Amino acid sequence: MSYTYEKTDDILAHQGDDYEKFMGAVVPPIFQNSLFVLPTSGNGIPEHPYVYTRTTNPTVEVVEQKLAALEGGGDALCFSSGMAAISSAIMHFLEKDCHVITVKSIYNPTRTLLKEYFPKKFGVQTSFLSQEELEHLEDHIRENTKLIYLESPSTGIFHLQDLGKIAKIGKKHGIGTVIDNTYATPLYQHPLEYGIDISVHTASKYLGGHSDLVAGALISSKEICSSIRLGERANFGGCIDPHQAWLLLRGMRTLRLRLEQHAKNAKAVAEFLKNHPQVEQVFYPGRKEGPQKELIEKQLKGFNGLLSFVLKGTAQQAEGFLDSLTCFLKGCSWGGFESLASPFTVGTSEEYNRELDCPANLIRLHIGLEDVETLIGDLKQAFEKIK
């Protein structure tokens, strides 16, 4: 039998371990099988609950138990990617010709899903609200609104949404609420405690943490998870592969340690950028400043290695800066061990920036686990090369 732990570090280390079931293996084995043969009176196979890996698999179950325990959910489900988790969570609430409310600052592929795919295919209408419009959320609710989709903080300039307030509005109008909780990870924000229905994550970022896997997850009540397990996940087939689940498990054991080091490094880099004459503005929620200070303090228990800044100068100068970096690699993901720089709104149109609710010339940095002096030195020399 597996034991239920309460403390975060105990959950990360041991939740889901079952020495009797896994014959004393200190690490749960990879059940790399599609099928589980069923017991009959003649074959001597003991009773077990498994049928087929698309629905349940013992290795996958260990990760799901960890995630549910970490975020206070009734259950959790793992997926083949963050987008598989996101699209399943959205489809759980969607109806043909319904209306969805979301924020402008969401992850780009999710925007495409809600702006183009679902509208063209199923007549769904989506309202993308700015931070100001979100203040008057109830004005945007229609008779056919079925879902409020959030991402808090977002991953460009880290907009937060008031989860308690929005969950309450959702409940009052019978509208489902989903949040992309990837930034905070299950350690630093527990949306279900505010009344949000589903928390989704990509596991390809900090949960995995080593830039060696693509996976996703959602955490919710037992009822919703059971409905998605047999509905969206079984029918669309976006289940995680057991080997990916095992890698994810390995990454998660060091999640808290890694996050703390990422945040420590990022805070130092944010400080450096803040004082640099070539920097217009720095966005790092861990500085706990700006108009959302109170919400940051209320909702976020910790921070990570993601930050962004507006470079003073032209788009060409920002491009030149990015090309001069040697330790920072140019890439658009985040959450791994390595430091990355990406041209978030460098050279993009004003219309695009407005659509994202983001300033122009924004460079996003993911601060990795390298020596922080090396990273600051790299930024310094790239600033000096700007002409």
Ligand X SMILES: *Cc1c(COP(=O)(O)O)cnc(C)c1O
Residues of this chain that bind ligand X (CB under 6 A):
81-83, 107, 155, 180, 182, 202, 204-205, 214, 216
Give 28's contacts (C-beta < 8 A, 6+ positions apart). Answer: 16, 17, 18, 22, 58, 59, 62, 246, 249
Comparison of 153 and 242: residue with beta carbon closer to ligand X:
153
Comparison of 302 and 320: residue with beta carbon closer to ligand X:
302
Query: For tokens 């880099």, what's the residue?
Result: 269
Comparison of 76 and 382: residue with beta carbon closer to ligand X:
76
Closest distance of CB 110 from ligand X, Å: 6
Alpha helices in the chain (DSSP H): 8-14, 58-71, 82-93, 108-112, 118-122, 131-134, 163-173, 185-188, 222-228, 234-236, 242-252, 255-274, 293-299, 315-324, 350-356, 372-384
Comparison of 66 and 205: residue with beta carbon closer to ligand X:
205
Closest distance of CB 83 from ligand X, Å: 4
Closest distance of CB 333 from ligand X, Å: 6
Closest distance of CB 186 from ligand X, Å: 14
Closest distance of CB 5 from ligand X, Å: 27
DSSP state of 7: S
Closest distance of CB 226 from ligand X, Å: 23
Comparison of 188 and 272: residue with beta carbon closer to ligand X:
188
Apex CA 109: angle with CA 108 and CA 111, to 5°? Answer: 65
Nearest to 125 by CA among 139, 108, 140, 136: 140
d(CA 376, CA 367): 10
**How far is residue 344 CA from its own chain's centroid?**
18
Residue nearest to ligand X (CB): 82
d(CA 135, CA 155): 20
Closest distance of CB 305 from ligand X, Å: 13
Give 153's contacts (C-beta < 8 A, 6+ positions apart). Answer: 159, 160, 183, 184, 285, 300
Comparison of 73 and 216: residue with beta carbon closer to ligand X:
216
Sign of CA dihedral 160, 165, 170, 171: positive
Comparison of 103 and 214: residue with beta carbon closer to ligand X:
214
Closest distance of CB 212 from ligand X, Å: 13
Contact 214, 68 (CB under 8 A): no
Comparison of 82 and 191: residue with beta carbon closer to ligand X:
82
Nearest to 239 by CA among 205, 215, 223, 265: 215
